[in-house]
Amino acid sequence: MDTGEQILQAALGQFSRRGYHAVSIRDICGEVGIRESSLYYHFKNKRALLDALLGRFAEKAGRFTSLLDEGMAQLTELEDEVFLRVGTGYVQGYLLDPEILAFFGMLRIEREHDPALAALYREWYFDRPLQFQTRMFARLSQTGRFPAGQEQRLALLYLAPILFLYEREFPLDSAEARARLLEAVRRHLEDFLKEHHP
């Protein structure tokens, strides 16, 4: 791993645990084992480092949602087991991805101090997932799998418990916490199918 990448990884780890404003350039350099001048060779300042991390986050999250959209476009029918795999795949592939998890940790702390970061948190944690789920239920209602005209309501009923369960286990820093989350999400999805399948 090159020095620039080591700096990014150290910064993300520190920002996710302590917040952007609480971490100094010296803290990051100490973790990487470099002098401050070395960091400034790669990044103009601490904000440039944050901007690089935010760009990486948006790119990674965008790639994941694009994959979901591509998969949804091919959806014609949904068996129960596929529905369960899609739901747990969202948790494993997005919410539990180590970098995404770290970004959400940082954004959680910084949303109190920075309106732009608060907006980013809302967009990627709530708004985009809700938009995707609404589109998914609209598509599934066309197959007769779920009732038509209730897409947003179904999306909220589907997503809100997942996010609640995620918050309850956050920061998900142990295998046990991640396993509890996945098991609880699977139970929620099974209950959701029983209750909302026409």
Domain CATH code at residue 153: 1.10.357
Residue 19 inside a domain? The answer is no
User: Sorting pLDDT into bands at 50, 70 and 90, what band is 164?
Assistant: very high
Number of domains in the chain: 1
Whether residue 125 lies inside any domain: the answer is yes
* Higher-confidence position of 80 and 10: 10
Domain that holds residue 127: 54-196
Domain presence at residue 14: no
> Does 166 map to a domain?
yes
- The verdict on residue 33 lying in a domain is no
Q: How far apart are CA 77 and CA 74, in angstroms?
A: 9
| Inside any domain, residue 184 | yes
Question: Taking the model in full, what pTM does it have?
Answer: 0.88
C-alpha dihedral sign at 153, 197, 195, 67: negative
pLDDT at 67 over 90: no
Q: Decide if 114 is inside a domain.
A: yes
Looking at per-residue confidence, does 126 or 197 come out higher?
A: 126
- How many other β-carbons are positioned within 10 Å of the β-carbon of residue 117? 20
Any domain includes 34: no
For the segment 19-61, what is each residue's pLDDT rounded down to a tens digit? 999 999 999 999 999 999 999 999 999 999 999 999 999 999 9
